[in-house]
């Protein structure tokens, strides 16, 4: 679950308990959270700074249920991202 202030929460027991896994993510609006179809612990998020007049690209991936995050911006053009999707042939 994500918030409009960059907070990311994870549950691994059907919602009985939640853990904050926001460390490493910017304080931006959480647009999309996409769990991987291929690896249970992998998560993708697309974030936006439009609320702060920031039109940057904020795409992240975690391989460990959000314990650590890696930027996926790479050489993408600087533009707002609303969604990230996993390659169906991955």
The pLDDT score that the predictor gives to residue 90 is 65
**Pick from 34, 86, 42, 36: nearest CA to 62:** 42
72 within 8 A of 87, measured Cβ to Cβ: no
The pLDDT score that the predictor gives to residue 34 is 93
The pLDDT score that the predictor gives to residue 2 is 83
31 within 8 A of 81, measured Cβ to Cβ: yes
The pLDDT score that the predictor gives to residue 69 is 96
Q: Is the pLDDT of residue 86 over 90?
A: no
70 within 8 A of 60, measured Cβ to Cβ: yes
- Does the predicted model carry a pTM greater than 0.95? no
Handedness of CA 51, 33, 78, 22 (dihedral sign): positive
Q: List all residues 6 or more positions away from 13 whose beta carbon is below 8 Å from its beta carbon.
A: none
């Amino acid at each position: 679950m994500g918030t409009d202030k960059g907070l990311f929460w994870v549950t691994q027991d059907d919602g009985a308990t939640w853990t904050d896994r926001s460390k490493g993510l910017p304080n931006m609006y959480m647009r999309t959270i996409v769990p991987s179809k291929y690896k249970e612990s992998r998560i993708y998020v697309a974030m936006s700074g439009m609320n702060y007049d920031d039109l940057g690209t904020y795409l992240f991936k975690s391989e460990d249920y959000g314990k650590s995050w890696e930027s996926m911006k790479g050489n993408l053009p600087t533009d707002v991202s609303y969604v990230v999707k996993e390659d169906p042939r991955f």
